[in-house]
Amino acid sequence: MIEVVCADITTLEVDAIVNAANTTLLGGGGVDGAIHAAAGPVLQDYCRTLNGCRTGEAKLTPGFDLPARHIIHTVGPVWKGGGHYEKSLLTACYKNSFEVALRNGVRTIAFPAISTGVYGYPKQQATEVALSVMLDYEDRFARIIACCFNDRDAELYRSALLAVRSRQ
């Protein structure tokens, strides 16, 4: 089941939350900064052992002080106008996060809107990418949460989801 939730992702009690990280995996601003702050400094120590992460790929760590058991770190594309494989890279982020989740027994998972903050991916287009991959994996998870940080983003997801469901 896909749910749209308006929340700080660090508060969610799920098997895994996904982090919109950068290639160093050593933390940053936005949701990445919030996750590192809430998980505690041991997360950065752990991430140092992972040798970074390429754009579109995903790596798992424990959740440490978070209510979530795991964190799946993925690196979204920086928006450069749409002609630089942004759509396929963003699709890969969601797919690879789901595949890492399945390999680790995750049944409930929450995603932020990857790439739509500092990385500048247009929100409507990013929402469509996110939902299309979520729909592909829907049957294999108990809960898939699209975690939005404000009501406007949540509304975007809700109306896009309604539109897809009405076509199903």
Q: Name the residues that contact ligand AR6, by CB under 6 A.
A: 8-10, 20-22, 28-32, 34, 76, 112-119, 147, 149, 153
E strands, the chain, in order: 2-6, 16-21, 58-62, 70-75, 108-111, 143-148
Minimum Å gap between C-beta 114 and ligand AR6 is 5
Q: Kindly give, in sequence order, each residue whose CB lies less than 8 Å from that of residue 124, ignoring residues fewer than 6 positions away.
A: 156, 160
Q: Kindly give, in sequence order, each residue whose CB lies less than 8 Å from that of residue 119, ignoring residues fewer than 6 positions away.
A: 20, 76, 77, 78, 79
- Residue closer to ligand AR6 by CB (options 140, 143) is 143
* CA of residue 33 relative to chain centroid, distance: 14
- Residue closer to ligand AR6 by CB (options 91, 115) is 115
Minimum Å gap between C-beta 10 and ligand AR6 is 6
Type of residue numbered 113: A
65 given a catalytic annotation: no
Minimum Å gap between C-beta 128 and ligand AR6 is 15
- Residue closer to ligand AR6 by CB (options 73, 137) is 73
Minimum Å gap between C-beta 103 and ligand AR6 is 23
- Residue closer to ligand AR6 by CB (options 21, 109) is 21
Beta carbons of 146 and 131 less than 8 angstroms apart: yes
Q: Which residue has the tokens 């898939």?
A: 144
Q: In Å, what is the CA distance from 22 to each residue of 2, 42, 59, 130?
A: 26, 18, 12, 18
Catalytic residue (one of 32, 65, 139, 151): 32
* Active site (catalytic) residues: 32
